[in-house]
Structure 1
């Protein structure tokens, strides 16, 4: 990675050693990856403290990751004030990242855990309420914002029938939040890192249960309530921490008159539009990986995983410009300017995109912007998820005697506004839908209305080529409901056509009810 030092800063507890032990285990796991010269922990309550940790380090470049669930009093007031009390503070190049709980990767972790609990306890997703139990504090209004934002994100993802937020030390309290909901099972997820006595005692008692071993399940007024472990125990949190550190490197050294660095007269750098492949970091091309490792700047999308970003060279600047549903940190015009500006500063720039940069990746617009600005630009194709996603599920997009043509569309084509005519698609042998999870019901209904047989086999592939890959098989008429039933989450590739039948053998055990699989196999 970039060397330097990483500090994991947590609230900690002087009365509960387990809370601090969790953060120390995370730090040790980071050390084992050998990404930093030094990895340290610091606690508000514990040793070393926020006000002494920098003095124990040798590195001049330090990244501090608040291992906290939200911004607010401790992340935005206590931590920076205490860091400034270190003797070495004026001499280090320090970057404090946003808190762990604000990272966009937290929502998928929680969603995955909810799906596991629903399966473990046999709970219907549509009838279950998810209660996010945040800490909150009346001392800083921002402390509740991350919990509320996460609840809204999970609500949009429909991870449960209802998603609500309650707080240990703010309004609404946990009992108050729960009391306004209809009858039905409840999953309570403590949105805390270690949690200490809050997770072990306060939260269970607030919802009517006695403390015990987690997950803790019991009935309150004939209602099943399950209280899970705190957020900090979820697998994947380590990747979130590393990703935060990569996205927020320490500032570069200041250049003196005789200092190093690039001269203002340095020739213009080159922009490379690199396809990162369908998800598995091993599926990037050899050329793309070589350019990634040599880049000065990596401007990447949301779906580029931390494993691939770790291949970037030491000291490379990582810029996340990822777009998601309802979320775009930078407009396309701003991204274009960013590419041009970094290249004009003499930097070698890799624009790393999921799949192939020219398959619904707006790569052509970025290429045009570079050409107009006189910036050299190279296109490095990538493996598109439109082909690789189905292939990972054992589904070809063409097959002799079955499918001789295929079309690829996006969620825009699959929208509900009727702007695009789907009738031409009805005659295509295989239809591949990218980024179309939320609009799948409308799209499939329009295809049926346009004359496509409702019994046409169909498949949804979640997180194709990754360990989290899941496959749901159904028919054109039922695939939207089947994906909802199985709790599939974006990114999803949907395949519609006779070729989807070929995925039955490889996917039936994953998410396909035997009755429905048999119906497709016999059709």
Structure 2
């Protein structure tokens, strides 16, 4: 027995080529020559709802803040550190092929800055300026929390970023091979104390974001019926 309603939620950070072209095309929701497609489509007795990606949802701000807060609480320094004494960095991939990759991260930086929780909030990137390693130059605060805005803990978040933050590559590889985290929290580098979190995609609150996308798509579909 098939469900009468099917919701497809792209587990991507930003809107772009894959979420707007590749995935819909592979699902049969759009043809190659189409410039747009219907987000709600009937297929026999089923209704398919194509949702927005999780990374652009407004509640991702809370996911990022939870990840940043939890890493310091899990690895507290000898003296308590307040967020207003800390620079928060959101690390993204960045690519000249898709400007939306950068836009999604910069939007989160703006939203978090507006909350006045951290002394500073910056965006840094793997493949665009400013680079992840520039965090030491950009941060005025002594303390840095770096949150990778990636869906999964893969090559970039587990290996590349720790090296960009200054850990020797052989140290990173040795730790990973022995089942340890590549970065030890907190680590002192260039007169800064740095906490580095896991990718936001493994944050438990992501499940709530997925459900929010489903509810949004359902509401939008109901409105179109009216």
Match status 1:102 vs 2:46: no
d(CA) in 1 for partners of 2:94, 2:18: 11
TM-aligned CA deviation for residue 148 of structure 1: 0.6
The corresponding residue for 1:231 is 200
Q: Does 1:193 align with 2:151?
A: yes
Query: Shift in Å at residue 127 of structure 1?
Result: 2.1
1:216 aligned to 2:184?
yes
Deviations 1:66-116 (A, max 9, x none): 111211232223222322389xx9836332211111112221222233233
1:116 matched residue in structure 2: 70
1:310-459 counterparts in 2 under 5 A? Answer: 317=222
Cα displacement (A) at 1:190: 0.7
Q: Distance in 2 between matches of 1:60 and 1:178?
A: 53
2:11 maps to 67
| 1:250–1:153 distance in 2 versus 1, CA, 3 Å | closer
CA contact (8 A) 2:136 2:192 kept: no
| 1:84 partnered with 2:28 | yes
| TM-score, structure 1 normalization | 0.35
Partners of 2:24 and 2:90 in 1: CA distance: 27
TM-score (norm 2): 0.76
Aligned counterparts of 1:237 and 1:66: Cα–Cα separation in 2 = 12
Instruction: Name the residue aligned to 1:133.
Output: 91
- The 2-side partners of 1:95 and 1:250 are apart by 11
Deviating 4+ runs (over 4 angstroms): none
- Residue 496 of structure 1 corresponds to none
Is the contact between residue 68 and residue 146 of structure 2 (CA under 8 Å) also seen in structure 1?
A: no
Determine if contact 1:128/1:185 at 8 Å carries over to the other structure: yes
The superposition leaves residues 219-262 of structure 1 with CA deviations (integer Å, 9 ceiling, x where unpaired) of: 2123211111110121211111112112103986xxxxxxxxxx
More helix by share: 2
Moved more, 211-220 or 132-141: 211-220
Q: Aligned equivalents of 1:186 and 1:114: distance in 2?
A: 10
Query: Do 1:129 and 1:185's aligned partners in 2 also have CA atoms closer than 8 Å?
Result: yes
Structure 1 residue 123, shift from structure 2 partner? 2.2
From 94, 118, 140, give the equivalent of 1:160. Answer: 118
The CA deviation string for residues 138-179 of structure 1, in whole angstroms up to 9 with x for no partner, is 111111111111111111112321110111233322123542
Q: Give the distance between the partners of 1:216 and 1:97, measured in 2 at CA.
A: 37
Q: Number of residues paired by the alignment? A: 199
The residue that corresponds to 1:375 in the other structure is: none
- 2-side partners of 1:251 and 1:61: how far apart? 14
Q: Which residue of 1 aligns with 2:35?
A: none
Bigger drift between 216-225 and 125-134 goes to 216-225
Q: Contact (CA 8 Å) 1:71, 1:142: kept in 2 or not?
A: yes
- C-alpha contact (below 8 Å) 1:214/1:227 kept by paired residues: no
The change in CA–CA distance for 1:84 and 1:198 in structure 2 (over 3 A counts) is: same
Q: CA RMSD in A?
A: 2.9
Does the C-alpha gap of structure 1 residues 85 and 155 become closer, same or farther in structure 2, counting only changes over 3 Å?
A: closer
Paired with 2:100 and 2:70, the residues of 1 have a C-alpha distance of 30
Higher relative contact order (CA 8 A, sep 6+): 2
Question: Higher Cα Rg: structure 1 or 2?
Answer: 1
Flag the 1:77–1:114 CA change in 2: closer, same or farther, 3 A: same
Which residue of structure 2 lines up, in the alignment, with residue 171 of structure 1? 129
